[in-house]
């Protein structure tokens, strides 16, 4: 396949590129142009400006835009520019970016093509991509809905009086029915529906091609490198189809669908890789933020075109680009080497990375690296030339620094007061749990743990229902009656809160499921009394029944009412209380901040000083830490919460 080497034709791209000090492409290693920006909001702004620039020249063009969290700042910036186009500040911004402010883009003439959708899913559900597009793009950008080609297969092929809920119980669609006969009447109906959905996909593909193909494509890239739902291994000549996904894609979709249990069974309809590239003049842009995307970006940009790397299909498009943050591009070899050469003096950290990578590459210990190893690696050779030191001495310095770091890492820390902070309830254990287990052992240290968000998005309806049913079994027992009479569940009973944890943890130690379930029931009853401000046990029983019915009837992934969010959040908080209780910390050491910017919307609000910053300032004053730890991926769009917490 030919490597793209053309110069940029976009004024927006050229302006940002000039500011970055980079070239657009470093052939032959890189196979597609890449433009880097500093952070996630800047990424959205760049994509928005490039989109508006394209619309100015293609007022009746065909566009495909992404869904999910990735385009948050793209949508915000496009909306900002369209609404304030005639203001002096916006006109100056546009002109500085290479866009002619005299001509406002005409959005009404554009034709929108939806990239993908879950199947089966009711398009009226707020977690469907159909609903997302209607809300953010059709209404938000003021597009003509009559010109939109959207994916809605909810009723396709359905027998009279039936819906996908009855045809596909539990949303399980068995694609093996494409090649086998049904064993039951239901399977016979399922096969007929699948065949008609397949035909619908063919019709959808034909419509796109009849229009001439997509003119402007903007998409994200998944953890396995997928674009659209074209997962790793997808044929580069694939077209619109109903298909299964892989685990990485299911995990990424779990929060949208209400849990991995739901996402695991859900199929998707997606346009194909050949659909995206059908029009050879397509402006195809992939946006990616954060170091978590670095490996898939490296593969998509540097690997030869291959089914193993879906985004490599874009190499053949002269107007295809990757817009990325610096973190997402940290593994791009030519750019990294360019950064190293520009460092003066070369930091020890960078020298260590280069030499350790060299040792791993050659399967050698550091003290066995030779000059010929350095000479055979461009970065290592440059280090040797810049320092003027022989290979043995450089490797020795790196080994010594590495040794000191290990000693520092295992050195006991005492006499400190720690405040461990995290956006979500699993960030600390994912970030540095192995270290913290040792850190908390010394009685000479103090520890507090603060979680910025409530965590209700992580709690499924099914789990909440199970917890309520468990409480219903315990609430009328003599033990609970005695606890109620002694004021055990009062909101200010800190001892009671701690006893909830001890009850559960004693059950863990005793391998006693009943003890654990009683601990869960105690905490949940305490939470219900707090939320509803209700001590009458009969009223609480009614509330339990109402809540069970709610969780049975709401579709997974739907935004909950505020008090339901509070209840789910408290279930999540209980898990963290248990985690730190296991290490000997009572509830007073765990702070659930429940910052107000986090409300369960697809895009979280921007933090506000009084609502979100001041509570943290008060906590810092109360705990007076000497060490504050953070668990963050601030460039990431996966959750943008990390960026906003920072």
pLDDT digits (tens, 9 = 90+) for 588-645: 999 999 888 877 666 767 778 888 889 999 999 999 999 999 877 655 544 456 656 6
Please check whether residue 450 is in contact with residue 619, taking contact to mean a CB–CB distance below 8 angstroms: yes
> Residue 2 pLDDT more than 80?
no
Angle at alpha carbon of residue 182, lines to 181 and 188, rounded to 5°: 115
Side-chain half-sphere CA neighbours of 344 within 13 A: 4
Q: Is residue 262 part of a domain?
A: yes
Mean pLDDT highest for which of 136-145, 417-426, 529-538?
Answer: 136-145
Q: Is residue 468 part of a domain?
A: yes
Residues in CB range of 99: below 8 A, 6 or more apart: 11, 12, 49, 52, 53, 56
Axis crossing angle, helix 461-474 with helix 562-582, rounded to the nearest 10: 80
> Residue 586 pLDDT more than 70?
yes
Please check whether residue 231 is in contact with residue 221, taking contact to mean a CB–CB distance below 8 angstroms: no
pLDDT digits (tens, 9 = 90+) for 354-388: 999 999 999 999 999 999 999 999 999 999 999 99
CATH of the domain at 289: 3.40.50.1360
- Based on the domain organization, do 150 and 56 belong to the same domain? yes
Q: Is residue 1 part of a domain?
A: no
Please check whether residue 299 is in contact with residue 32, taking contact to mean a CB–CB distance below 8 angstroms: no
Q: Considering the chain, what is the average pLDDT of its residues?
A: 92
Share of the chain above pLDDT 70, in %: 96
State residue 611's pLDDT score.
87
Q: What is the 3-state secondary structure (H, E, C) of 118-164?
A: EECCCCCCCCCHHHHHHHHHHHCCCCCHHHCECCCCCCCCCCCCCCH
d(CA 579, CA 6): 55
- Based on the domain organization, do 486 and 565 belong to the same domain? yes
pLDDT digits (tens, 9 = 90+) for 325-354: 999 999 999 999 999 899 988 999 999 999
> Residue 262 pLDDT more than 90?
no
- Based on the domain organization, do 355 and 255 belong to the same domain? no
- Based on the domain organization, do 302 and 199 belong to the same domain? yes
Which ranges constitute the DSSP H helices of 369-493?
A: 371-375, 378-387, 391-410, 427-439, 461-474, 478-485
Axis crossing angle, helix 333-341 with helix 378-387, rounded to the nearest 10: 0
For 244, the token pair is 């299964």
What one-character-per-residue DSSP string does 60-79 give? T-EEE---SSTTHHHHHHHH
Q: Is residue 4 part of a domain?
A: no
Q: Is residue 220 part of a domain?
A: yes
State residue 70's pLDDT score.
87
Please check whether residue 399 is in contact with residue 365, taking contact to mean a CB–CB distance below 8 angstroms: no
What one-character-per-residue DSSP string does 11-45 give? HHHHHHHHHHT--S--TTT--S-EEEESSHHHHHH
For tokens 């960078």, the residue is 350
Bridge partner list, 62: 111
Q: Is residue 305 part of a domain?
A: yes
> Residue 253 pLDDT more than 90?
no
**Residue of 139, 44, 53 lying closest to 103 (CA atoms):** 53
Looking at 532, 550, 580, which one is the last position of a domain?
Answer: 580
State residue 641's pLDDT score.
63
Side-chain half-sphere CA neighbours of 5 within 13 A: 6
> Residue 317 pLDDT more than 90?
yes
For 2, the token pair is 């030919």
For 563, the token pair is 């008090």
- Based on the domain organization, do 435 and 396 belong to the same domain? no
pLDDT digits (tens, 9 = 90+) for 521-560: 999 999 999 999 988 889 999 999 999 999 998 888 788 8
What one-character-per-residue DSSP string does 302-362 give? HSPSBTTBGGGGGGG-TT-EEEEETTTTTT-HHHHHHHHHT-SSPPHHHHHHHHHHHHHHH
Q: Is residue 599 part of a domain?
A: yes
Confidence of residue 3 (pLDDT cuts 50, 70, 90): very low
- Based on the domain organization, do 550 and 474 belong to the same domain? yes
Bridge partner list, 287: 323
CA 200 to chain centre: 30
- Based on the domain organization, do 46 and 186 belong to the same domain? yes
Looking at 333, 358, 383, which one is the last position of a domain?
Answer: 333
Looking at 302, 333, 364, which one is the last position of a domain?
Answer: 333
- Based on the domain organization, do 47 and 178 belong to the same domain? yes
Could you tell me the CA-to-CA distances from 78 to 46, 51, 94, 218, 637 in Å, in that order?
10, 8, 12, 13, 18
N-to-C CA span, the chain: 43
Axis crossing angle, helix 513-532 with helix 461-474, rounded to the nearest 10: 100
What one-character-per-residue DSSP string does 203-229 give? HHHHHHHHTTS-SEEEE---TTS-BTT
Query: Do you know the residue count of the chain?
Result: 646
- Based on the domain organization, do 108 and 250 belong to the same domain? yes
For tokens 């050779």, the residue is 381
- Based on the domain organization, do 226 and 115 belong to the same domain? yes
* Beta strands at 446-451 and 283-288: parallel, antiparallel or unpaired: unpaired
- Based on the domain organization, do 388 and 305 belong to the same domain? no
Could you tell me the CA-to-CA distances from 274 to 9, 69, 382 in Å, in that order?
24, 25, 42
- Based on the domain organization, do 283 and 216 belong to the same domain? yes
What one-character-per-residue DSSP string does 573-587 give? HHHHHHHHHHTT--G
**45-49, 244-248, 443-447: lowest mean pLDDT where?**
244-248
Print the domain residue range for 447: 412-453+593-646
Q: Is residue 618 part of a domain?
A: yes
**191-205, 392-406, 467-481, 585-599: lowest mean pLDDT where?**
585-599
pLDDT digits (tens, 9 = 90+) for 64-123: 999 988 899 999 999 999 999 999 999 999 999 999 999 999 999 999 999 999 999 999
Could you tell me the CA-to-CA distances from 642 to 75, 109, 606, 645 in Å, in that order?
19, 37, 12, 5
Report the domain count for the chain.
4
Find the mean pLDDT for residues 279-303: 95
> Residue 1 pLDDT more than 50?
no
Find the mean pLDDT for residues 481-508: 93
Which DSSP symbol is given to 458?
Answer: G
State residue 588's pLDDT score.
92
């Amino acid at each position: 396949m030919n490597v793209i080497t053309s110069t940029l034709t976009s004024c927006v791209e050229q302006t940002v590129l000039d500011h970055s000090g980079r070239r657009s492409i470093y052939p032959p290693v890189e196979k597609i142009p890449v433009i880097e920006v500093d952070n996630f909001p800047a990424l959205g702004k760049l994509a928005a400006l490039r989109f508006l620039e394209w619309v100015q020249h293609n007022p009746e063009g065909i566009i495909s835009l992404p869904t999910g969290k990735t385009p948050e700042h793209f949508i915000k910036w496009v909306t900002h520019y369209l609404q304030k186009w005639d203001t002096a500040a916006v006109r100056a911004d546009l002109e500085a970016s290479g866009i002619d402010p005299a001509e406002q883009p005409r959005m009404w003439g554009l034709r929108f093509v939806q990239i993908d959708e879950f199947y089966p899913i009711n398009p009226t559900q707020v977690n469907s991509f159909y609903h997302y597009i209607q809300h953010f793009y059709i209404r938000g950008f003021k597009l003509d809905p009559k010109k939109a080609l959207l994916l809605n297969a909810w009723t396709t092929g359905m027998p009279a009086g039936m819906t996908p809920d009855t045809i596909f119980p539990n949303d399980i669609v068995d694609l093996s029915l494409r090649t086998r006969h049904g064993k039951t009447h239901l399977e016979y109906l399922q096969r007929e529906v699948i065949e008609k959905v397949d035909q619908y996909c063919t019709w959808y593909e034909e419509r796109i091609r009849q229009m001439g193909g997509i003119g402007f494509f903007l998409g994200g890239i998944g953890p396995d490198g997928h674009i659209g739902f074209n997962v790793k291994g997808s044929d580069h000549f694939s077209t619109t189809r109903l298909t299964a996904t892989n685990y990485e894609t299911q995990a990424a979709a779990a929060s949208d669908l209400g849990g991995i249990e739901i996402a695991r069974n859900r199929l998707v309809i997606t346009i194909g890789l050949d659909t995206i590239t059908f029009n050879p003049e397509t402006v195809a842009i992939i946006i990616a933020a954060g170091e978590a995307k670095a490996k898939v970006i490296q593969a998509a940009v540097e690997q030869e075109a291959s089914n193993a790397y879906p985004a490599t299909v874009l190499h053949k498009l002269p107007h295809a680009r990757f817009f990325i943050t610096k973190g997402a591009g940290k593994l791009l070899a030519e750019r990294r080497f360019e950064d190293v050469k520009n460092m003066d003096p070369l930091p020890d950290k960078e020298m260590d990375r280069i030499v350790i990578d060299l040792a791993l590459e050659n399967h050698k210990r550091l003290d066995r690296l030779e000059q010929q190893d350095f000479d055979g690696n461009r970065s290592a050779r440059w280090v040797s030339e810049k320092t003027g030191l022989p290979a043995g001495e450089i490797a020795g310095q790196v080994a010594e620094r590495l040794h000191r770091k290990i000693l520092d890492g295992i050195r006991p820390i005492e006499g400190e007061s720690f405040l461990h902070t995290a956006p979500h309830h699993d960030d600390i254990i994912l970030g540095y749990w192995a270290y913290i287990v040792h850190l908390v052992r010394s009685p000479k240290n103090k520890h507090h743990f603060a979680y910025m968000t409530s965590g209700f998005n992580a709690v499924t309806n099914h789990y909440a229902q199970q917890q309520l049913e468990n409480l219903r079994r315990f609430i009328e027992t003599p033990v609970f009656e005695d606890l109620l009479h002694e004021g055990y569940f009062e909101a200010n009973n800190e001892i009671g809160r701690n006893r909830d944890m001890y009850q559960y943890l004693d059950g863990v130690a005793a391998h006693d499921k009943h003890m654990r379930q009683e601990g869960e029931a105690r905490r949940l009853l305490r939470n219900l009394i707090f939320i509803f401000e209700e001590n009458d046990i009969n009223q609480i029983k009614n509330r339990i029944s109402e809540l069970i019915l709610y969780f049975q009837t709401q579709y997974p992934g739907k935004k909950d009412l505020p008090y339901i969010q509070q209840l789910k959040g408290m279930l999540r908080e209980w898990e963290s209380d248990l985690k730190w209780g296991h290490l000997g910390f009572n509830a007073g050491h765990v702070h659930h901040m429940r910052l107000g910017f986090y409300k369960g919307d697809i895009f979280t609000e921007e933090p506000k000083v009084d609502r979100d910053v001041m509570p943290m300032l008060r906590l810092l004053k109360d705990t007076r830490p000497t060490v504050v730890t953070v668990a963050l991926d601030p460039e990431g769009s996966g959750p943008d919460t990390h960026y906003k917490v920072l």
